Amino acid sequence: MTETISLDAVPADVFAICRTLADKGKRAWIVGGCVRDLILGRTASDWDVCTDALPDDLLRIFPRAVPTGIAHGTVTVVKNHEHYEVTTLRGETTYSDGRRPDSVFFVDDITADLARRDFTVNAMAISPVDGHLIDPFDGQGDLRRGILRAVGDAHARFSEDGLRVLRAARFSAQLGFALDPATHRAIGDTLDTFRKVSAERIRDEWMKAMKSNKPSMAFEIMRETGLLAIICPELMESVGVDQNRYHTFDVWGHAMSCMDACVGDPVLRISALFHDVGKPRSRAFSDKTKDYTFYEHERIGAEMVRPICERLRFSTDERGRIEDLVRFHMWHYDGWTDAAVRRWIRRVGTHRVEDLYALREADIRGKGPTKVTPEDFDSLGALKAHVERILAEGAALTTKDLKVNGNDLMRELALKPGRILGEILEQLLEGVINDPTENDRDRLLARAREIVGGKKD
């Protein structure tokens, strides 16, 4: 059965590609995720075209196309700086590495091409000539029902390619869909294939999940099915770890709710996911408060995320950001002095301040609606205002803001280059943070002389 779908959102360049193919007597369809997004009225992240033109034809018809995956029948056509993948219809054979088909063969049947795709909602094609939908697996029905279902036998499909189980979790969050029960069950049964997926691919799927409204949908699926125990056993430690009177959820539930509430880019949300990962290892029962405490969980957590981020191949910058946010997410602002605010900014770094506010806001919301108090937000607002005032005053917050530098110290105190210079500058900064009027060249040099004298004693 076919249905007519509005093609208004399809870029003119996609029509042009299909027309060029039609002029050469080839058939062409818009296919895959962009068809799903077209039907849902969502913005497609990329537009893919499939055709019965063979790879050699494609290179002839689009002489400037980039042969990005020519062995698999894919070329990239660039139009107006946009990239469009044009792929020869293909079926697939066996998979022995758990990721890629051993060989591909080209077919002229669109249904065979759709059958190799992962989920029914991703296995539809539209002919741009007449707008007819080709939907052999009832993807449209599943879109209506809000169900993510593997094409064919889920167990077999997930045993072929281990990435699909992770895509299932990610699409569930991205589309807000439930997993069809058989598809859900098959994830836990095919974990051995999943183990072959590279860390980079896992990280990419996590980052995509973080762009959805409720990334927790993906993470709950990963937890339930055993994927998370493979990817990040450290996070599993939080499951069932009850907290204290300030929280509704266990540590895991709080991480989920904080991540969902976190407004920001994917790396910030990853930080929300991990912010309390150190809690299970630091939990202790206090006889005094008759409740659990989590002393130093932020330090323990920061030490835990470092190897996790290395394992998942986050970039050095991303890892540094996640680590900092986990390490510095705890503070109790209760009308600090100006010097205390300057010390805080110096410790966390001006470049982390906005991230920390966003994380704190999510952390508050993540306690659960009944536990959030107006004071939580008042205190955050008061810190923000205080920090803003301190920054506007332009007081020194790093050694670069001091009125002396390493060269001055070498010249005036006859010091040689080395670690000592940095140590002296740090000590000078401490004094200036306590009292900004100390940021005066003569006074700093005098103080530096004292420090050097003290070191010699």
Q: Which does 163 bind (CB under 5 to 8 A by kind): Mg ion, ligand ATP, none?
A: ligand ATP
Q: Which does 118 bind (CB under 5 to 8 A by kind): ligand ATP, Mg ion, none?
A: ligand ATP
Q: Which does 68 bind (CB under 5 to 8 A by kind): ligand ATP, Mg ion, none?
A: none
| Minimum gap (Å) between residue 32 Cβ and ligand ATP | 3
Closer of 187 and 251 to ligand ATP (Cβ)? 187
Closer of 40 and 385 to ligand ATP (Cβ)? 40
3-state secondary structure of 293: strand
Closer of 49 and 421 to Mg ion (Cβ)? 49
Report residue 290 as tokens: 């008759």
Q: Which does 234 bind (CB under 5 to 8 A by kind): Mg ion, ligand ATP, none?
A: none
Spacing of C-alpha 273 from chain mean position: 10
| Minimum gap (Å) between residue 183 Cβ and ligand ATP | 13
Closer of 46 and 393 to Mg ion (Cβ)? 46
Task: Label residues 37-62 b or e (16+ Cβ within 10 Å = b).
Answer: bbbeeeebeebbbbbbbebebbeebb
Closer of 33 and 98 to Mg ion (Cβ)? 33
Q: Which does 117 bind (CB under 5 to 8 A by kind): Mg ion, ligand ATP, none?
A: ligand ATP
Q: Which stretch binds Mg ion (CB under 5 A): 38-46, 84-92, 348-356, 371-379?
A: 38-46
Report residue 61 as tokens: 């018809």
Among 29, 30, 33, 92, binds Mg ion (CB under 5 A): 33
| Minimum gap (Å) between residue 402 Cβ and ligand ATP | 49
Per-residue H/E/C for 275-286:
CCCCHHHHCEEE
CA geometry: angle at 420 spanning 414 and 422, to 5°? 110
Q: Rounded to whole angstroms, how far apart are CA atoms 66 and 106? A: 19
How far is residue 332 from each of residues 82, 224, 247, measured CA to CA in Å? 49, 35, 17
Is residue 82 a contact residue for Mg ion (CB under 5 A)? no
**In 87-178, which residue ranges form alpha helices assigned H by DSSP?**
110-115, 139-145, 154-160, 163-175
User: Which residue's CB atom is positioned nearest to ligand ATP?
Assistant: 33
**Amino acid at position 119, single letter:** F
Q: Rounded to whole angstroms, how far apart are CA atoms 299 and 278? A: 8
Token pair 């080839």 is at which residue? 26
| Minimum gap (Å) between residue 164 Cβ and ligand ATP | 5
Report residue 235 as tokens: 């996070």
Q: Rounded to whole angstroms, how far apart are CA atoms 457 and 455? A: 6
Token pair 């002095």 is at which residue? 337
Contacts of 271 (CB under 8 A, 6+ apart): 321, 322, 325, 326, 329, 355, 359
Size of residue set near Mg ion by CB under 5 A:
2
Q: Which stretch binds Mg ion (CB under 5 A): 35-43, 46-54, 87-95, 393-401?
A: 46-54
Closer of 46 and 354 to Mg ion (Cβ)? 46
Q: Which stretch binds Mg ion (CB under 5 A): 43-51, 124-132, 362-370, 440-448?
A: 43-51
Spacing of C-alpha 343 from chain mean position: 30
Closer of 46 and 354 to ligand ATP (Cβ)? 46
Contacts of 288 (CB under 8 A, 6+ apart): none
Which residues contact ligand ATP by CB under 6 A?
Answer: 32-33, 45-46, 48, 117-118, 122-123, 161, 163-164, 208
Is residue 46 a contact residue for Mg ion (CB under 5 A)? yes
Closer of 208 and 360 to ligand ATP (Cβ)? 208
Residues at the contact surface with Mg ion, assessed by CB under 5 A: 33, 46
